[in-house]
């Protein structure tokens, strides 16, 4: 708590899914000066807005969580937009932070920065051993440039920037919008909706880090999942990720990237079966093998985070899923 005493902290994306948990962790550590910019007031793609933000916030520490994200479909449609906007937000925020002489910059990367065929478990040393999975590459590479910038600025200017690589997140407060939700909230929503008779359509769910669910043809309630189901993913409960970010901000001051995860993997097929069981969904589940699986496997080596700043995920996967389902059920608005 001494670390945060009297510090002014800027949290970009602080009103979002992950950001709201990070802000709550900061408040519990008696951090009283937290600035959360709203996108309507600060377009962080524009240099003028970034300069204004620093003038208004006057931060000592910046935690950069804001990002432009999407699933396989969105990445296919917007590769240039995702590359440019994520690159410009991060590069400009770090550059102005350097100019202002802030104490620390916490850059949040993405699992999509890893090569498509990274050996399991993903080790930080393998980050540059190949090209990212094609559908995610522009986004992943844009976020990866923050690591290059952080290391270059540390070398030339002595600027204290760190770079964290969280795995796919889930939890209460996640995005359940069927047009842009990730695979876990997408599956939860469609299973619950079909079970309760809210919809009578069949829905598609893709298995990428951020996945859209789109209605197809009228039919009895069913869920159609993209791919073969053989791809694997690792998921981290959002509150655990927030704790990792805050711990790293307090304790980690080195140039090397650090994975943030739970250290397990689950196949998409097993994930679908688990969510169906936990939601009580007993309808049909089919697989559209004409659609891509995305990256074949994802699981992180998480030893560095525990060694460097004492982080280890606490929330068991099934427990986290139950909490997420309960939150969705308690807050959903019937159509």
Give the pLDDT score at 306: 98
Alpha helices, H only, the chain: 17-28, 47-57, 72-77, 79-100, 137-157, 183-195, 238-251, 268-279, 303-309, 317-331
The residue range of the domain holding 290 is: 183-231+266-295+321-331
| Alpha carbon separation from 235 to 22, 59, 175, 181, 255 (Å, rounded) | 18, 31, 15, 15, 25
User: Rg of the chain's alpha carbons, rounded to an integer?
Assistant: 20
| Count: domains in the chain | 2
Q: Do 63 and 188 share a domain, yes or no?
A: no
Q: Do 165 and 276 share a domain, yes or no?
A: no
Give the pLDDT score at 288: 86
Q: Do 208 and 98 share a domain, yes or no?
A: no
C-alpha 47/C-alpha 44 separation (Å) is: 7
Catalytic residue numbers?
A: 139
Q: Give the CATH number for residue 146.
A: 3.40.50.720
Q: Which residues of the chain have pLDDT under 50?
A: 199-203, 207-220
Beta bridge partners of 222: 202, 284
Residue 178: inside a domain: no
Give the pLDDT score at 215: 41
CA 66 to chain centre: 10
Q: Do 191 and 91 share a domain, yes or no?
A: no
Supply the DSSP symbol for 134: G
Q: Give the CATH number for residue 210.
A: 3.90.25.10
Give the pLDDT score at 333: 67
Give the pLDDT score at 335: 53
Q: Do 74 and 213 share a domain, yes or no?
A: no
Residue 213: inside a domain: yes
Give the pLDDT score at 85: 97
Q: Do 141 and 272 share a domain, yes or no?
A: no
Q: Do 189 and 127 share a domain, yes or no?
A: no
C-alpha 54/C-alpha 57 separation (Å) is: 5
For residue 225, report the phi and psi dihedrals to the nearest 5 degrees. Answer: -105, 135
Give the pLDDT score at 309: 98
């Amino acid at each position: 708590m001494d670390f945060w005493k009297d510090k002014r902290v800027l949290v970009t994306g602080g009103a979002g899914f992950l950001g709201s948990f990070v802000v709550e962790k900061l408040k519990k550590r008696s951090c009283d000066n937290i600035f959360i910019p709203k996108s309507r007031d600060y377009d962080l793609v524009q240099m003028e807005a970034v300069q204004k933000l620093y003038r208004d916030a006057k931060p000592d520490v910046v935690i950069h969580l804001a990002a432009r994200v999407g699933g396989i479909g969105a990445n296919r449609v917007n590769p240039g937009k995702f590359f440019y906007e994520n690159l410009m937000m991060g590069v400009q925020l770090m550059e102005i932070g350097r100019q202002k002489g802030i104490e620390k910059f916490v850059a949040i990367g993405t699992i999509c920065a890893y090569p498509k065929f990274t050996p399991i478990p993903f080790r930080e040393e393998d980050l540059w051993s190949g090209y990212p999975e094609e559908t995610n590459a522009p986004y992943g590479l844009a976020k990866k440039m923050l690591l290059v910038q952080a290391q270059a600025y540390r070398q030339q200017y002595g600027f204290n920037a760190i770079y964290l690589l969280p795995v796919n997140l889930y939890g209460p407060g996640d995005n359940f919008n069927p047009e842009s939700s990730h695979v876990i909230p997408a599956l939860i929503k469609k299973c619950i909706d079909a079970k309760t008779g809210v919809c009578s359509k069949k829905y598609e769910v893709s298995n990428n880090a951020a996945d859209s669910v789109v209605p197809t043809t009228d039919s009895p309630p069913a869920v159609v999942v993209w791919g073969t189901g053989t791809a694997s993913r690792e998921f981290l409960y959002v509150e655990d990720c927030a704790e990792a970010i805050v711990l790293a901000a307090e304790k980690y001051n080195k140039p090397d990237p650090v994975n943030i995860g739970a250290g397990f993997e689950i196949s998409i097929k097993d994930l679908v079966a688990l969510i169906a069981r936990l939601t009580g969904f007993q309808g049909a589940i089919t697989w559209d093998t004409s659609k891509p699986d995305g990256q074949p496997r994802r699981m992180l080596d998480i030893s560095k985070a525990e060694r460097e700043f004492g982080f280890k995920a606490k929330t068991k996967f099934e427990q986290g899923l139950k909490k997420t389902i309960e939150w969705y059920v308690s807050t959903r608005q019937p159509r």
